Structure 1
Amino acid sequence: MKLMECVPNFSEGRDKTILDAIATAIKNVKGVALLDIDPGADTNRTVFTMAGEPEAVVEAAFQAIKKAAELIDMSKHKGAHPRMGATDVCPFIPISEMTMDECVEYAKQLGKRVGEELGIPVYLYEYAATKEEWRNLSNIRNGEYEALPEKAKDPYWKPDFGPHTFNAKSGATAIGAREFLIAYNINLNTRDKKKASEIAQIIRESGRPARDENGKLLKDENGNPIYIPGLFSHCKAVGWFIESYDRAQISINLTNYKITPPHLVLEKVRELASEMGMQVTGSELVGLIPKSALVEAGKFYLQRLQESTGIPEKMIMQTAIQSMGLAELAPFDLNKKVIEYAIAGKDLLVNLKVDAFCDLLSTDAPAPGGGSVSALCSAISGALSAMVANLTIGKKGYEKVTEEAMKLAPRGQEIKQKSLEVIDKDTDAFFALMDAMRLPKKTEEEIAYRKAQIENCTQQAINAPLETMRLAFSALELASKIAKIGNTNALSDAGVAALTAFCASQSAYYNILINIPGITDEEFKQKTLAEAKELLEKCKIIADSVEKYVCEQLKSKG
């Protein structure tokens, strides 16, 4: 599922009425979760954090910026933090199944709308910047709000969107795209801040001052201090003493965890601390973390243990929590600390127990239905194949295939996870279609809008089972592979994995056929039907092959 985060900063940190109004504007947008509101009275600035489906996040950001423009008067604003607008900055951050390029496009969409509809000058920054010097936010914000009247006269400062004029009430806004920032602290078994600072200087990107053998600072020919580069890029770090914890910490900001992940920094700090006679007792995550970062860490430690990474993602993350000591100072709740879990709906079908799901399925409720069931079958198939792979890894007599089984198990988990997501995606698409059909149709404009919405929602109702068919095909390929190399004591399970995957494919195909007559886009209709038919044929070939193989092997056992 595509997820994007947005962290708009508003130039108001004291008036709760204004902050509540902005929060309400965000909460009124479906598909977005408002995760945090962090006001600062001294800075007179508040950071909002929200996340959700990309299009919904863009809409929520616009509504928040619009509300801020209505309620905040920059001509009267005073605060300690640099600022140039009612909405000062508004970055988009990719969370899952998102690229930075996609975030850049969403930043441009929002910037265009803010500029045209609200009349606010918009500058694109960081990855979205149209000028190299504008990648750095401080360059754009140089001179702050007070410099905007002069910038409005300078052609160089023509904004990317909106009028090249001074907006006295709202100022200007920087909209951009950046990586997720992870705030991460490492705990030491010392109260000595200097020791923590020494390690911080070694690991941070900016490095540390060079000194001679007598400890004197080294300088270049111009008299400037010479710095030894730090070990990690995209890493900012300082050492400090936290009285409430009665220990020193290394406080770290990781500005691109995909390049510098927290677990690798932790391992290097453990090494450095040991050389200095200290120990790392644990670590602390401040705020939230993307699921992928914690999963990567868990896999790192599982591989060290020479254990399978093809286990459920929450088990992988628990390995990371234990290995990194993330629960040393306070309980670490995955549902609150992992951003994807924090924004997930609490009434999802996948959260139901098996009996509750079947009970709901058996009522006259229009959903869940066959589409969700077909996705569930695909998930079960992936899970079964992962199980067979895990029952093969490390078993006597299967040493030659252990390496391959170690690769197949994670693939089964991936199919399982993606299929589980489609269970709710299918039901959501159905309800969206029902809502579209209830739209008013009294005027020509209403009729045209309703028709367009029905077409769009019908396509989504078809795309969900089509996605299931693609996953089912992958599940069948996986079942075929694991049946041939897997633990023969679980051969029947591999066979069931293939059967349930084919069932998922066939039943998803039915759901496509029942919805396709409602499509008016002939190109979409023909393309979808062609792909679905081809997938079904491929699935049947593999399913028949696995069934034949499994039956022959089981008979030979008898």
Structure 2
Amino acid sequence: MIRQITDTIASVDAVSLLDVDPGASTNRTVVTLVGNPDAAVEAAFRAIKKAAELIDMRKHKGAHPRMGATDVCPFIPVSNVSWEEAIACANRLGKRIGDELKIPVYLYEKAAKDKARSNLSVIRAGEYEGFFEKIKQAEWKPDFGPAVFNEKSGGTVIGVRDFLVAYNVNLNTKSVRRATSVAFDVREQGRVKTEDGTAWGKPALDANGEPVRIPGALKHVKAIGWFVKEYGIAQVSMNLTNIEETPLHVAFDACVEAAAKRGMRVTGSEIVGMVPKKCLVDAGRYFLRKQRWSEGLSIQTKR
């Protein structure tokens, strides 16, 4: 099935398929392609159309939050493309998906028409199962496509954003609850404060009746805890949305520290999809310095 989808991408001239990263527990595949704006839009449409033909969301289960056969499709201007051009690509693709495939489409991040819906996690809240009712609300009318949930294909989120790093840190536990505690410690959103200070206590509310939050250690980080069946361990699954402000190695060290405070150890980590080379070089230099080893890198490698 994955090959059938990626073959549609490869069939488009001026597009290169860079990476295909499937995950069994998440039941989700991250595909990375690069091309000029017109070619990228065409390749994305063909892939989304094929996914809609092959994937039945009524039968889909997975550890990762999701709302459709093609859950999310971001455009990232890499070089010689402006933000405005990328936003135009997102709108062209969204309209075509809505018109031709009859799939509800929401725009997010820099492409968002409604700033209250710019955050992917806000759009995806309730996931596939909850969208049958959510889409009936006036504030959740799609940007493109019918205001009726597509039972087979679900909905799709399309947007424009900067580079994002999907990064999972392994813990020496199988407990999702304990992994989630570490995720709450490190993610920017943190956790909801409770009146008695316990995880299961009554939420503390502010003057407006909204839950009071205790922020986590890292800016520009989203995180959840989950169990990965094929590894037999729990992970802290993170999205790093600003790798200049919070780079890979800072996120790793924060998880090590938070896990240790809770009596756990970090046993490894994995990158999902692709990352800018600079992320890896910066991490390598950081850990070499931390271990008091010589960097031994050429000027070209450091770039």
The aligned residue for residue 113 of structure 2 is: 130
Q: TM-score, normalised by structure 2?
A: 0.65
Residue 240 of structure 2: aligned partner:
255
Query: Is 1:32 the counterpart of 2:20 in the alignment?
Result: no
> What amino acid maps onto 1:144 in structure 2?
F
Task: Report if the CA contact (8 A) 2:95-2:145 is conserved.
Answer: yes
Task: Count how many residue pairs are aligned between Structure 1 and Structure 2.
Answer: 286
In structure 2, what is the equivalent of residue 230 of structure 1? Answer: 216
* Structure 1 residue runs without a partner (length 5+): 1-15, 317-413, 415-558
Contact 2:182 2:236 in 1 (8 A): no
**In the TM superposition, what are the counterparts of 1:350-389 in structure 2 within 5 Å?**
none
**Aligned partners of 2:97 and 2:85: how far apart in 1?**
18
Q: Which has the higher contact order (CA 8 A, sep 6+)?
A: 2
Shift of 1:230: 1.0
- 1:294 and 2:280 aligned: yes
2:251 corresponds in structure 1 to 265
Per-residue deviation, residues 75-105 of structure 1 (Å, max 9, x unmatched): x945457877664543334567877655433
Map 1:85-484; keep pairs closer than 5 Å: 87-93=70-76, 103-115=86-98, 121-135=104-118, 136-138=122-124, 143-145=130-132, 159-161=142-144, 173-178=156-161, 179-186=163-170, 199-208=182-191, 220=204, 227-237=213-223, 251-258=236-243, 259-271=245-257, 283-290=268-275, 291-301=277-287, 310-313=298-301, 414=303
Q: Aligned residue for 2:31? A: 49
Q: Check conservation: 1:254, 1:261, Cα contact below 8 A.
A: no
Q: Tell which deviates more after alignment, 200-209 or 90-99.
A: 90-99
| AA in 1 matched with 2:278 | S
Structure whose CA Rg is larger: 1
**Counterpart Cα distance in 2 of 1:168 and 1:199:** 35
Q: Against the structure 1 CA distance between its residues 279 and 125, is the aligned structure 2 distance closer, same or farther, given a 3 Å change threshold?
A: closer
- Return the offset for 1:229: 1.8
Q: Indicate if the aligned counterparts of 1:126 and 1:137 stay in contact, CA closer than 8 A.
A: no
| Structure 2 letter corresponding to 1:33 | L
1:22 aligns with 2:16: no
| 1:321-370 per-position Cα deviation (integer Å, ceiling 9, x unaligned) | xxxxxxxxxxxxxxxxxxxxxxxxxxxxxxxxxxxxxxxxxxxxxxxxxx
SS in 2 for 1:144: helix
- When residues 310 and 120 of structure 1 are mapped into structure 2, their CA distance, relative to the original with a 3 A threshold, is same
Could you list the runs of 5+ residues in structure 2 that have no partner in the other structure? none
In the superposition, the TM-score normalised over structure 1's length comes to 0.40
- Is 1:122–1:172's contact at 8 Å kept on the other side of the alignment? yes
RMSD over aligned Cα, in angstroms? Answer: 5.0
Indicate conservation of the 8 Å contact 1:186/1:266, yes or no: no
Q: Report Cα offsets for 1:262-314 as digits up to 9, x if no partner.
A: 2012334455566778765x53214334123212323444666685765342x
